[in-house]
Structure 1
Amino acid sequence: MASLNVGNVGEFLREQRRNAKLSLRQLADAAGVSNPYLSQIERGLRKPSAEILQQLAKALRISAETLYVQAGILDERERDDLLQVPAAILADPTLTEPQKQALLQVYESFRKENRQPGADDGTVDGSGATGERDGPGNPSHRHR
């Protein structure tokens, strides 16, 4: 069943890339992935991580949540709930455009920080973050 999602996200990525009038090479360069890897994703041969999907979404100028839904990482209801905050920020007439962008960046960075350990099995965020969480236990290990 996972291969169905992998194929769906690959087909969706190819469609988005073509709509953006980008070549495979251009998108790969913009997202910081190799051409062969992106080609394998588009053909449904590879399952990209949440981090790679986020890089691809940024390069395509679409929401990462849209790709997460296509990949089966997030269901549509969760995505709709997550999109309410950015929509509210963008709709607020009392905020300037730079203020809106700053709020959106902070919101996204918090979400990314909280999502990464679960999405990537802790490997991306493991250094530093785990040391802070283990705070009281660390000094005893250092004094061996």
Structure 2
Amino acid sequence: MASLNVGNLGEYLREQRRTAQLSLRQLADAAGVSNPYLSQIERGLRKPSAEVLQQVAKALRISAETLYVRAGILDAERDRDEVETRAVILADPTLTEAQKLALLQIYESFRKENGIGSDGRGHGDVDGADPRAQESDADPQQTAG
């Protein structure tokens, strides 16, 4: 399990800030953190808490989960696909906030239907068998003969 280093987080934050056309001071103000602290995060000198990352993500209008993975707070290998999918939805400038929320809810419902919980782990058989097939085998109404 490879964890990404804090330097990569800083580089990513700087890139996102520049893409959003925000100065360091503007982002610090919007996120409610000090300008010097944010500068240290961008330079890879500090590892911010999950709370600070959430504030910065909100100010940048990006997924906090993406920042958590880059900071090594979430397991990058297990959560990467889900985080990237959520990040793409949240970053789409053509969608309203309500539409983004609706898409995320639909996405999560499909994951649950397919036996994947919000923790990224399957709830079905370990070998990847279809959880619906397991459910129908256990259903007493369908086993009547």
- TM normalised by structure 2 equals 0.54
Q: How does 1:119-138 map to 2 (within 5 A)?
A: none
Q: CA separation of 1:19/1:72 partners in 2, compared to 1, >3 Å: closer, same or farther?
A: same
| Equivalent position of 1:19 in the other structure | 19
Structure 1: where are the runs of 5+ without partners? 89-96, 108-144
Q: CA separation of 1:99/1:45 partners in 2, compared to 1, >3 Å: closer, same or farther?
A: closer
| Equivalent position of 1:80 in the other structure | 81
**Structure 1 residue 77: deviation in Å?**
3.1
Q: Which amino acid aligns with 1:81?
A: E
- TM normalised by structure 1 equals 0.55
| Equivalent position of 2:56 in the other structure | 56
Structure 2: where are the runs of 5+ without partners? 90-96, 109-145
Q: CA separation of 1:71/1:103 partners in 2, compared to 1, >3 Å: closer, same or farther?
A: same
Q: How many equivalent residue pairs?
A: 97
CA contact (8 A) 2:54 2:64 kept: yes
Query: Any idea what SS the aligned residue of 2:5 has?
Result: helix
Which structure has more helix as a fraction of its residues? 1
| Equivalent position of 1:32 in the other structure | 32
In 1, Cα distance between equivalents of 2:88 and 2:72: 23
In 2, Cα distance between equivalents of 1:57 and 1:81: 17
Q: CA separation of 1:67/1:98 partners in 2, compared to 1, >3 Å: closer, same or farther?
A: closer
Q: CA separation of 1:10/1:81 partners in 2, compared to 1, >3 Å: closer, same or farther?
A: same
CA contact (8 A) 1:10 1:41 kept: yes
RMSD: 3.3
Percent same amino acid at aligned positions?
79
Q: CA separation of 1:24/1:79 partners in 2, compared to 1, >3 Å: closer, same or farther?
A: same
**Structure 1 residue 102: deviation in Å?**
7.9
Runs of 4 or more, structure 1, over 3 Å off, are 81-88, 97-105
Q: CA separation of 1:99/1:27 partners in 2, compared to 1, >3 Å: closer, same or farther?
A: closer
**Structure 1 residue 66: deviation in Å?**
1.1
Q: How does 1:84-103 map to 2 (within 5 A)?
A: 98=98, 101=101
